[in-house]
Structure 1
Amino acid sequence: MTATTTTSPPPGLVIAPALPDLMVAPKIRRGAIGFLRNHPTVAIGGALLLLLVIIGVFAPFLFTVDPTAIAPAKRTRLPSADFWFGTDALGRDIYSRVLYGTRVSLTVGLSVALAASLIGLTIGLVAGFVRWADGVLMRCMDGLMSIPPILLAVALMALTRGSVGNVILAITIAEIPRVARLVRGVVLSLREQPYVDGAVASGTRTPMVILRHILPNTTAPMLVQATYICASAMITEAILSFIGAGTPPTIPSWGNIMAEGRALWQVKPYIVFFPAAFLSVTVLAVNLVGDGLRDALDPRMAKSP
């Protein structure tokens, strides 16, 4: 058995104490839960948006009545236990109309975001990578962007009948140039990368170069842009309905409800307040999701784990 011997330092020298570990191992959070914890903005916005989707889907089961039922004897009732949000000038239950209006706004916002993103992505990819098509496509996009989206949507709605489908089509046409411009700018920077030049030099066809090397790198900025388009589309739909150029008055939408209550705003402000509050919360939720995704997908703004 050997005894452990400790050597003493030479005269005039001492052994320094061990330094603390300054490089603490980061806590890596994986999965959806970890992503939401690292990006609480996405979690808050997603929770609000999910709640609104549930309200829209299950509106018939949330103590609502027929949103189009007219009851002149019960018109302009104040919010109470019988009418949670009150009634409008025709006696219709505002609570029911606001909850059913959630369907219209979410349908318009999500449909416009999806359609405008897909069409704008295709145009941006072709314009950014195919040089001879860039001038033609971008001049068309510049022409559309020179017209304010609201005026363009109003002009398109004036040529068609008022319906949710026509509203989606009109707003989509006005939003396509925004996505096309963004994707084109990303593609212009990507097509000069060495791996793209290597793919072209190896004989890879242009469609495959776009699908394999260009498209995956445009997904992140396009996804963030789609959230802002969704919020903008819901606001535009409310504006069109408010001025009478959107969905028909028979369809309960937040814009229609506010338009019908503006004449009684000074004496019955609740008619406008509740749909306006729902619209504001919905747009806020979508913008929170967009801001959170931007921080998460942009490496320059991403938070350290």
Structure 2
Amino acid sequence: MSATTHDNVRVVEAPALPAILPTPKQRGRVAGFIYRHPTIFVGAVLVGIMILIAILAPYLGTRDPTALAPARRTREPSALYWFGTDMLGRDVYSRVIYGSRVSLVVGFAVALCASAVGTFFGLIAGFVRRLDSVVMRIMDGLMSIPSLLLAIALMALTRASVQNVIIAISVTEFPRVCRLVRGVVLSLREQPYVEAAIASGTRTPLIIWRHILPNTLAPLMVQATFIAASAMITEAILSFIGAGTPPTIPSWGNIMAEGRALWQVKPYIVFFPAIFLSVTVLAVNLLGDGLRDALDPRLAKRL
């Protein structure tokens, strides 16, 4: 404690309080974002690794995934064959690495197609009152059929190919996007800025493009990640039961389908593609959970 004199008035200064709270750590933008949203970081890193594996598949010590070698069939994992060989002598490691391309392409393509189509019909149903009941009854009819059964039925009407798998799964997923977007639009069209745009004579397409669509992107991004993960699982199921991609195309579902007959004696044929599928789906789900937490304003205030 110290004392000073100003104009014959003695002023006593209180002692400085000790620093009880630690000095907050200064973090950069990237480090701060990772600290606040670790699930986004982990999910994005895992997804990025899987994408790099798919792109760099020819340079990761792989062989021709379709090359037959009956003399080297059902060999155990070793330094020469990292994941072993299947009943036709094909390298399981090469087939799993190349199979990541099919799953990632199907997952991302279905997420893009289902989101685009679902958003279009959701905007129409939510903003145009006369078409709301018609569009939503059609969506309810599609959603009343189990997704997997509908995909199997659609694949039964066409030939097996990656493109038809994408179309079949997209048909089963876009009604959910439509319902989500419609719900968001119903709450947005009552906002004052939308009513002001309508009162000023702005055309409906312009209102949807400027005021409605941008506000649906946040929940749409989260939904798209879950659609991508669901599409990967559905593609694997379709291929596993013989209704998906052709057997000549290496995919995780095809590899597991071919190895199920030898599961009890050669489990590695099914184990490795199942691990890759599980990690990829987990990564996409982590990314979706992180985006949901980051884009939700109610949760953002707590972080």
Whether the 8 Å contact between 1:38 and 1:303 is mirrored in structure 2 is no
Give deviations 1:179-228, integer Å, cap 9, x for gaps.
Answer: 00100001101111111111111111111111111111100000000000
Select 1:270's aligned residue among 241, 265, 268. 268
**Residue of 85, 88, 107 corresponding to 2:86:** 88
Q: Deviations over 1:10-59 (max 9, x none)?
A: xxxx8765668999998786755543342111111111111111110110
Aligned partner letter, 2:138: C
Quick check: 1:76–1:87 contact (8 Å CA) kept in 2?
yes
Any idea what SS the aligned residue of 1:301 has?
helix
Q: 2:163 aligns with which of 143, 165, 185?
A: 165
Aligned residues: 299
Residues 304/161 of structure 1: CA separation in 2 closer, same or farther (3 Å cut) = same
Quick one: distance in 2 between partners of 1:271 and 1:18? 70
On the 8 A contact 1:97/1:252 being kept in 2, the answer is: yes
CA distance in 2, matches of 1:236, 1:148: 12
Residues 260-297 of structure 1: per-residue CA shift (max 9 Å, x gap) = 00011111100000000000000011001101101110
Please report the TM-score for the alignment, with normalisation by the length of structure 2: 0.93
Identity %: 71
Query: Is the aligned partner of 1:203 residue 2:212?
Result: no
Q: Distance in 2 between matches of 1:219 and 1:236?
A: 25
Map 1:119-130 → 2, pairs under 5 A: 119-130=117-128
Corresponding residue for residue 5 of structure 1: 5
Q: 1:180 aligns with which of 178, 181, 184?
A: 178
Q: Read off the aligned partner of 2:237 and give its amino acid letter.
A: I
Q: Against the structure 1 CA distance between its residues 19 and 147, is the aligned structure 2 distance closer, same or farther, given a 3 Å change threshold?
A: farther
| Residue 289 to residue 303, structure 1, CA distance change in 2 (3 Å) | farther
CA distance in 1, matches of 2:238, 2:299: 36
Partner AA of 1:5 in structure 2: T
| Equivalent in the alignment of 1:238 | 236
| Equivalent-residue separation in structure 2 for 1:278 and 1:243 (angstroms) | 19
Task: Write the mapping of 1:147-166 to structure 2, written as runs, cut at 5 A.
Answer: 147-166=145-164
Q: Secondary structure at the match of 1:99?
A: helix
Q: Deviations over 1:131-167 (max 9, x none)?
A: 0010111011001000111000000000000000000
CA distance in structure 2 between the partners assigned to 1:304 and 1:114 by the alignment: 31
**Aligned AA for 2:40?**
V
Query: Take 1:213 and 1:126, find their aligned partners in 2: how far apart are those partners?
Result: 14
RMSD (Å) for aligned C-alpha atoms: 2.3
Instruction: Please give the alpha-carbon distance, in whole angstroms, between the structure 2 residues aligned to 1:146 and 1:26.
Output: 53
Equivalent residues in 2 for 1:140-151, closer than 5 Å = 140-151=138-149
Tell me the equivalent position of 1:59. 57
TM-score (norm 1): 0.92
Q: Quick check: 1:59–1:100 contact (8 Å CA) kept in 2? A: yes
CA-to-aligned-CA distance 1:218-252 (integer Å, 9 cap, x gap)? 00000000000000000000000000000000000
Give the distance between the partners of 1:108 and 1:239, measured in 2 at CA: 13
Q: Distance in 2 between matches of 1:5 and 1:83?
A: 88
Asked if the contact 1:296/1:303 (under 8 Å) is kept, the reply is: no
What residue is the counterpart of 2:131 in the other structure? 133
Check the 8 A contact 1:104/1:253 in 2, yes or no. Answer: yes
Distance of 2:187 and 2:23 partners within structure 1: 35
